[in-house]
Amino acid sequence: MAINAIGGMLTGLAGTTPAGERPAAGAGARFAQALSRMVEETETAASDSNAKVSAMLDGTGDVHEAMIAMQRADMSLQLTVQVRNRLMNAYQEIMRMPV
């Protein structure tokens, strides 16, 4: 069983433009796609975890695979929640700026 890194979910979230330069016009769309992909991967990890736990309860699956799938789903959810928290903090900071 291959263990994939959760860090792959962050691909595309970090900008690659140097400081002081404006991002390309499609940067917003790429960022939205990266966030969408992150949510989809979190949902996939949760459904995989549910399937592995169901298989374990049926006696056809392995306890270790179920536990690894549950931990992967938990870490994925925690990462997604932290990204959401950072985005909300950034939005609130922007809204507090005087115009």
How many domains would you assign to the chain?
1
Range of the domain at 81: 25-96
Burial status of residue 7 (CB atoms within 10 A of its CB: 0-12, 13-18, 19 or more): exposed
pLDDT in tens, 33-80: 999 999 999 999 999 999 999 999 999 999 999 999 999 999 999 999
Question: Is 33 part of any domain?
Answer: yes
Please state, as a whole number, how many other Cβ atoms lie within 10 Å of the Cβ of residue 16. 8
Question: Is 66 part of any domain?
Answer: yes
| 1 closest CA partner among 73, 85, 86, 66 | 66
pLDDT in tens, 79-98: 999 999 999 999 999 999 98
